[in-house]
Chain A
Amino acid sequence: MALLEIKDLHVRVEDNEILHGLSLTVNEGEVHAIMGPNGSGKSTLSHVIAGKPDYEVTGGQILFNGEDLLAMQPDERAAKGVFLAFQYPVEIPGVATMTFLRTALNAQRKARGESELLTPAFLKKAYEVAARLNVPRDMLKRGVNVGFSGGEKKRNEILQMALFEPSLCILDEMDSGLDIDALRVAADGVNALRSPDRAMVVITHYQRLLNYVVPDFVHVMSKGRVVKSGGKELALELEASGYTQFEDAA
């Protein structure tokens, strides 16, 4: 059974259909890149998988480990192992990052029927993960993403990914707003989390990121559909020829 199976997905926002029959299968251990021009529906896809309100699914289905993902609330999906690294992580003033991480991790554990981590056990785990990702402790004491640079925000997303240990990671435009050094740091963090029992869907506009996070499969999206799939070499091909050919094809 596939980890994630999207079949003929149709999605609307208000009166506009954004996804017109998208299908995608992701197995454990695989890294899939989804590329495409602006407005092709890449971010919509990531939001719909994670359960963002305001999207209306008018057809098709999404199965996660064989379960109907669309029937679940966003927090249930998170507890089941779906993680979305946001393109624009939000700021939550007054809530220390550490508090946020502990509250979220324990909410997930509770939903899975696991015991909550007490503060000492949690701190040990969090500091261990932070050290592994070179995240300074000081960052954990600050308000969630408040005053963080673009690079720090993305590192905070990867830190959460490492801490929650999801089985499916969706990375939405994680390269946006990062300079080359920050991109390398973020990519190292992601690569460290690649594992045979975890799949990743990397959404990006540019090929650049894929030099650092090398995918097993590349899919090209245009106008709400996957129009071409292939291996990692497809990304390079796109880099050379651009998206125009696919816009015509769609």
Chain B
Amino acid sequence: MPAVQETVERVRRIDVDQYRYGFETLIESDKAPKGLSEDTVAFISAKKSEPAWMLEWRLEAYRRWLTMTEPKWARVNYPKIDYQDLYYYSAPKPKKQVTSLDEIDPEILKTYEKLGIPLREAEVLEGVVRKDGEDAPVERRIAVDAVFDSVSVATTFKEELKKAGVIFMPISEAIREHPELVKKYLGSVVPTSDNFFATLNSAVFSDGSFVYVPPGVRCPMELSTYFRINERNTGQFERTLIIADKGSYVSYLEGCTAPQRDENQLHAAVVELVALDDAEIKYSTVQNWYPGNSEGLGGIYNFVTKRGDCRGKNSKISWTQVETGSAITWKYPSCILRGDNSRGEFYSIAISNGFQQVDSGTKMLHLGKNTTSRIISKGIAAGRSQNTYRGLVTAHRKATGARNFTACDSLLIGDKCGAHTVPYVEAKNSSALFEHEATTSKISEDVLFYCTQRGLSQEEAVGLVVNGFVKDVLQQLPMEFAVEAQKLISISLEGSVG
């Protein structure tokens, strides 16, 4: 792990309260009028030049939403959100129709540069292993879709992906260009009526990524979306839909950041994954939304619905998440194991510091025969934060031979934080085999003293212990992300000791 030393240096350079991505980009934007109404929904739909069926779909969701109430069961506290006091659509003002990167507002390109996200394909190609033969693996190449406030500003490697038959584009374009696919799959995993936040998203989502991998195709590169909330008082409601057709494979990464602001910002995304027979989807997230300052002021409210449907036999969906940001996290990436022999995985690192509140976990719903699932959750609480793992594992009456293994480990740093584990297990047939392990530990004074006696500072010691604690999960991340995540973990825990 060569990054350990680098990590601790990085930590040393950073002052408490300094969120690395907290800058704001000054650009002109095009916004919907404040507040939510059928007009707002129609405004967004019109902005995206959507077909009538899409508007109808949204309006139905909106009407449904009006009848719903916010869920209250999670272990999070926040003041009531005034949904009429938000902007639901904000787009960087385009000078004209953008056809290449050169026409994108340079301020936005600069933003992504500062975030370390390569949008220019030439840069991404640097340092790439040269292709000798057809089969030579070209690693380290990542196709990026960048979403700025409500719109997708750039998608890289589109042409090359197209050659492989992979569709990777903003969902707003997919609605226009591939209506048959969108109609068939949108809302088929997370229905418009699913829950308060998902329904709200269905009504007002403005952009996000769409991926379709055709039968038998192994997507030739990692796909990635970076979400950035820039505009003040603006909610971000992105929608991601990934379909892996029979026998295909795709790995997808998602990263998120936001400027540092005193007021809270709402993020309510929906991600739907569909894996058909023998297909595999690997979905990784490094969530680093602004968490609020050391007094608990500001930060993102992150209410996200992520669900994967292993619709085909032998299909596999794997969620890996590193959650370090947001004032409030409400998020349960789940798998519906519908196909026989399908497999769901959930690997999670959730770190909370300061006044952050995390309520996160997963659901594994075993419907098909001989379905298996694995849950590895690592919660780390520091400062005055509260960190809850909430999980549900169920086996349907017909899901014979269902198996689950769950391990939830919590680590406490200091004595003002809390870690909570809320697992629900329901087996409706006697052949299901569910295992659950849970541990809670504290970084003890003895461990810290041992490390400092060997020459490590307190913070280096915490960084080392925490990186060891989360190792099982970090190993699940694609290489580049793992190194980044490791740095992020240490930075998130800055100021948590002594």
Q: Could you list which residues of chain A lie within 8 angstroms of chain B, going by C-beta atoms?
A: 50-54, 73-75, 77-79, 83-84, 86, 89-90, 92-96, 99-100, 102-108, 111, 116, 119, 143, 160, 164
Q: Which residues of B contact A90 (CB under 8 A)?
A: 444, 446-447, 450
Q: Which residue of A lies closest to B450 (CB)?
A: A90
B-side interface size class: 20 to 34
Complex Cα gap A89–B447 (Å): 9
Provide a sorted-by-A list of 17 A–B residue pairs whose CB atoms are within 8 angstroms: A52-B449, A74-B449, A84-B453, A90-B444, A90-B447, A92-B447, A92-B468, A99-B1, A100-B454, A103-B4, A103-B460, A103-B464, A104-B454, A104-B456, A107-B455, A143-B468, A164-B455
Complex Cα gap A106–B9 (Å): 12
Complex Cα gap A3–B265 (Å): 60
Contact B455 A92 (CB under 8 A): no
Q: Which residues of A contact B4 (CB under 8 A)?
A: 99, 103
Complex Cα gap A123–B449 (Å): 25
Question: What's the nearest-Cβ distance from chain B to residue A248, in Å?
Answer: 35
Contact B455 A78 (CB under 8 A): yes
Question: What's the nearest-Cβ distance from chain B to residue A94, in Å?
Answer: 3
Q: Which residues of A contact B447 (CB under 8 A)?
A: 90, 92
Q: Which residues of A contact B455 (CB under 8 A)?
A: 75, 78-79, 104-105, 107-108, 111, 164
| Given known A107-B457, A116-B5, contact A73–B467 (CB-CB < 8 A) | no
Q: Which residues of A contact B471 (CB under 8 A)?
A: 94-95
Contact B456 A103 (CB under 8 A): yes
Contact A95 B5 (CB under 8 A): no
Q: Could you list which residues of chain B lie within 8 angstroms of chain A, going by C-beta atoms?
A: 1-2, 4-5, 8, 444-447, 449-458, 460, 464-465, 467-472
Q: Which residue of B lies closest to A101 (CB)?
A: B454
Q: Give the interface SS of chain B, mostly helix, strand, loop or mixed.
A: helix
| Given known A90-B447, A92-B447, A116-B5, contact A75–B468 (CB-CB < 8 A) | no
| Interface-central residue, B451, B454, B468, B470, by most chain A CB under 10 Å | B454
Contact B464 A95 (CB under 8 A): yes
Contact A94 B468 (CB under 8 A): yes
| Interface-central residue, A90, A102, A103, A108, by most chain B CB under 10 Å | A103
Complex Cα gap A92–B119 (Å): 40
Question: What's the nearest-Cβ distance from chain B to residue A160, in Å?
Answer: 7
Contact B453 A94 (CB under 8 A): no
Question: What's the nearest-Cβ distance from chain B to residue A42, in Å?
Answer: 17
Contact A50 B5 (CB under 8 A): no
Contact A106 B468 (CB under 8 A): no
Q: Which residue of A lies closest to B469 (CB)?
A: A94
The 7 nearest A-B residue pairs measured at CB: A94-B468, A95-B468, A108-B455, A104-B454, A94-B471, A74-B452, A78-B455
Question: What's the nearest-Cβ distance from chain B to residue A102, in Å?
Answer: 8
Contact A107 B460 (CB under 8 A): yes
Contact B453 A95 (CB under 8 A): no
Complex Cα gap A194–B465 (Å): 32
